[in-house]
Amino acid sequence: MNTPYAPGTVSRRSFLKVAAAAGGSLMVGFWPVEGEAAAATAADLNAFIAIGADDSIVLTMPKVEMGQGTYTSIPMLIAEELEVDLDKIQLRHAPPNAKVYGAPFGDQFTGGSLTIRLMYEPMRQTGAAARMVLVQAAANEWKVPADSCRAEHGEVVHAASGRRVKYGKLVAAASQIAVPEKIALKDPKDFKLVGKPAKRLDAKGKTDGSAMFGIDAQAKGLKVAVVAASPVIGGKLKSVNDAKARKLRGVRQVVKLDNAVAVVADNYWYAKQGLAALDIVWDEGKYARLTTDDVRNTMVAALKKPGHIARNDGDALKALAADGKRVEALYINPMLAHATMEPMNCTVHVKGDGTAEIWTGSQVPARARDDAAKVLGLAPEKVTLHNHYIGGGFGRRLYTDYVTQAAAVAKQVKGPVKLVWSREEDIQHCLFRGLYAHSVSASLDAQGKPVAFSHKIAGPSNLAAFAPGWLKDGLDIDNVEGSDIFSYDIPNMRSEYTQEDGPVPTAFWRGVGPTRNMTVLESFMDELALKAGQDPLAYRLSMLGKQPRAAEVLKVAAQKAGWGEKLPARSGRGIALMRAWGTYLAQVVDVTVSDDGEVAVKRVVCAVDCGQVVNPDTVVAQIQSGINYGLTAGLFGVITLKDGRVEQSNFHDYPILRMSQAPKIDVVLVQSSEAPGGIGEPGTAGVGAALTNAVFAATGVRVREMPLRAELLKKV
């Protein structure tokens, strides 16, 4: 997800405040806006560090952990400046509170490959502020200048006299000291933690079964609900005969919603049996005949409608109309499901005293709480939400549909109820990555160099629904992301997006705009290189004179991969560049294609420059993850519609890359002292075109509509 608050547009200065809390803890919090810090109450100061008199250090995590490593990287930033050991830090999931944890948006969300980009300085400042007041407290007690003391391993040390004192002994005094006006951040060359691989703080519980995900929530008297929503998009519940279901063991209640029916039982199995025994009649509504082709045709037709211009260097349309070698193509990015391993679920307890309690995993805990409160008819402050480790987000848990559905069920149930979606429900009622149509055209000069380049996109706008305030003069900045800063030096360059939402409910999906745009644009670059009769790598490099970081990652990846080597028949090597989220990466994919058209990905090399790195091991892990996520999409990923229904239902017909199919991945980190870039999504965004380019090299077949289809790649 792209936001108007990209680093560089927000003030780097945070406003910090310390206070004493019950039990004598030192609390340190930061706010991006000066007035908010001044007005903050003691209760607000649970953000982000609490140092106890017992030397405990508890961080309340402003961002959620869904695998991306935030629960290690944010503590690293704080520990680095606070001078404490990483393994001494305890972590707490943040409660819903957009004001305290939603900086700088006022919207508490985790996504957009933004965490480190936005938190890099504020978290360091917060740690440094805490360190400075602790050092000052020790200096005051010892009646020595603060600059004669230093902090290390959770202690303040006065080297001259050999005195040392643990932070816990200082918290009472430190909480009375105002945060200094000037926060002294470390010089990066003095970093002890940042930039070096650190062990994940969430790993142990995830290897012994003790880590708690939303689906693991327990409550006394808990019932389980299994739900069937209208199988037809936009359909409603007409009627349900539950006579058989009610007689089944363990079934307690059948709950009707506007567009769904849920069976509440003593456990999941009983609820599932109950659901299977229902006779449900749906009002299928106006999309009862909808097919994928309808959606596709709608998006292709929308390419003809005027849209919002994201970029218009020179006059691309005029230059395209002039003489020159013209190349044009239509590309389609298909619908996809997120298919997180943890199916959607949410536990809600509506209590008799006008309050409610929620247990779930959400990328947007404050929105989840507020949306549920609305359904329950309660004020948000009457609703408590316990967030959890998230068993896969990828954009899916930026939405609260499963939370509001659970609230609607719980409203009709006495006692706590856990709503768990079956895998079939999870795939068929995903909020999908929408179908996008892309029209690309270029004209080449006599040397084969593009003089004009146009990219037109049509498809749904998720940003318009999620955060209309983030549209830029009506432009969905997500949907053009990557296209708007396409790196090549082409004098006439145009990027345009036409919003066409269509009937299918859609969502952000890992890599959002850049995943779709880079798959198209970097594939099209290979088409141009072919037309120009040039090597794809050399062709790209010839247009990157003004983009040294982009050129460097391409060169590094190509060299590591052995670019230019001769490969056996039906083997191919493809390259692609990706630049978005402040990160540059290049990937080289090696494939072999069997005579019957099956593609095996043998190796992926990825060179990445994401600026200053916090935890290099996390960067590598996220690249590995992003590549495999993108390969699943490229090799298998497509959601199709027939009669208004999603045709896929579980992992047999919506396959996910498995161990034997996962390639060897070599990641090379290019050293950089630039501002930190995002890393959760770039790997996914970079792999699609490298894959199709490799397939072209192996077979001579240009794939312009994912996923790869064996019948089109057979040996002829």
Partner 1 sequence: MIKLTINGKPRTFDVPGDMPLLWVLRDEAHMTGTKFGCGMALCGACTVHVDGEATRSCVLPVSAVAGKKITTIEGIGATPAGKATQAAWLKVEVVQCGYCQSGQIMSACALIAKNRQPTDADIDDAMAGNICRCGTYSRIREAIKDAAASPLLKGA
The site for partner 1 (CB under 8 A) is made up of 66-69, 199-200, 202-213, 215-216, 218, 224, 249, 266-269, 272, 339-343, 389-394, 420, 422-423, 617, 621, 624-629, 632, 650-652, 656-660, 662, 664-665
> What is the Cβ-side half-sphere exposure of residue 1, based on CA atoms within 13 angstroms?
28
Spatial distance between the Cα atoms of 98 and 104, rounded to a whole number of angstroms: 10
Q: Which is nearer to partner 1, 241 or 651 (CB)?
A: 651
Closest contact distance (angstroms) between CB of 659 and partner 1 is 4
656-660: long-range contacts at Cβ-Cβ below 8 A with a sequence spacing of 24 or more? 656/339, 656/632, 657/628, 657/631, 657/632
Q: What is the DSSP annotation of 422-482?
A: -HHHHHHT--BBPPEEEEEEEEE-TTS-EEEEEEEEEE--HHHHH-GGG-BTTB-TTTTTT
213 vs 203: CA distance, rounded Å: 14
CA distance 333 to 638: 9
AA letter at 376: L
- Residue with token string 């005949």: 289
Name the CA dihedral angle for 587, 588, 589, 590, rounded to a multiple of 10 degrees. Answer: -160
> Residue 82 and residue 257: Cα distance in Å, rounded?
51
Distance CA 367, CA 462 (A): 16
Strand partners, 417: 223, 348
CB of 628 to partner 1, least distance (A): 3
- Which residue's CB is nearer to partner 1, number 560 or number 702? 560
User: Minimal distance in Å, beta carbon 361 to partner 1?
Assistant: 9
Q: Which is nearer to partner 1, 342 or 370 (CB)?
A: 342
Task: Tell me whether residue 171 or residue 198 sits nearer to partner 1 (CB atom).
Answer: 198
For residue 287, the SS3 value is: helix
Nearer to partner 1, 320 or 668 (CB): 668
Residues with Cβ within 8 Å of residue 29, at least 6 apart in sequence? 16, 17, 37, 40, 44, 45, 46, 47, 48, 49, 100, 126
Closest contact distance (angstroms) between CB of 259 and partner 1 is: 23
Distance CA 478, CA 463 (A): 7
> How many Å apart are CA 280 and CA 255, to the nearest integer?
12
Using the minimum distance from each CB to partner 1, give the nearer residue, 77 or 627: 627
Are 392 and 656 spatial neighbours (Cβ–Cβ below 8 Å)?
no
For partner 1, the closer CB: 273 or 384? 273
How many CB atoms lie under 10 A from the CB of residue 560? 16
268 alpha-carbon distance from chain centroid: 30
Minimum distance from residue 662 beta carbon to partner 1 (Å)? 4
CB of 548 to partner 1, least distance (A): 30
CB of 345 to partner 1, least distance (A): 9
Nearer to partner 1 by Cβ, of 624 and 672: the residue is: 624
Residue nearer to partner 1 on the CB measure, 269 or 279: 269
Q: How near is the Cβ of 194 to partner 1 at its closest, in Å?
A: 17
Find tokens 């700088």 and name the residue: 104
When the beta carbons of 116 and 138 are compared against partner 1, the nearer one is 116
Distances (CA, A) of 621 to 234, 458, 618, 702: 39, 33, 5, 30
Distance (Å, whole) CA 27 – CA 30: 10
- Looking at beta carbons only, is 39 or 203 nearer to partner 1? 203
Q: Which is nearer to partner 1, 409 or 525 (CB)?
A: 409
Report, in Å, the least distance between residue 678 CB and partner 1.
Answer: 16
How would you classify residue 248: left for phi > 0, otherwise alpha for psi between -120 and 50, otherwise beta? beta
* Least distance CB 507 / partner 1 (angstroms): 16
Sole residue written with tokens 């000066």? 34
- How many Å separate Cα 81 from the centre of its chain? 27
Residue 478 near residue 581 (C-beta atoms within 8 A): no
Nearer to partner 1, 138 or 228 (CB): 228
Asked if 35 contacts 23 with a C-beta cutoff of 8 angstroms, the reply is no
Q: Is the CB of 207 or the CB of 673 nearer to partner 1?
A: 207
Of the pair 18, 631, the CB lying nearest partner 1 is at 631
Q: Cβ 648 to partner 1, closest distance in Å?
A: 12
Nearer to partner 1, 236 or 272 (CB): 272
Task: State in angstroms the smallest separation of the CB of 636 from partner 1.
Answer: 12
Q: Give whichever of 34 and 87 is closer to partner 1, judged by the CB atom.
A: 87
Least distance (Å) from partner 1 to the CB of residue 422? 6
Cross-strand pairs, 239: 281
* Smallest distance, partner 1 to C-beta of residue 276, A: 12
Name the packing angle between helices 682-699 and 616-636 (round to 10°).
50
Distance CA 303, CA 331 (A): 11
Name which of 469, 578, 615, 507 is nearest 115 in CA terms. Answer: 615
Minimum CB–partner distance for residue 337 and partner 1 (Å): 11
CA 30, 114, 464, 422: dihedral to nearest 10 degrees?
-110
- CA nearest to 87, candidates 193, 210, 167, 208: 193
CB of 425: closest distance to partner 1 in angstroms? 10
Q: How far is the CB of 651 from partner 1 (least distance, A)?
A: 4
The enclosing H or E element of 667 equals strand 664-669
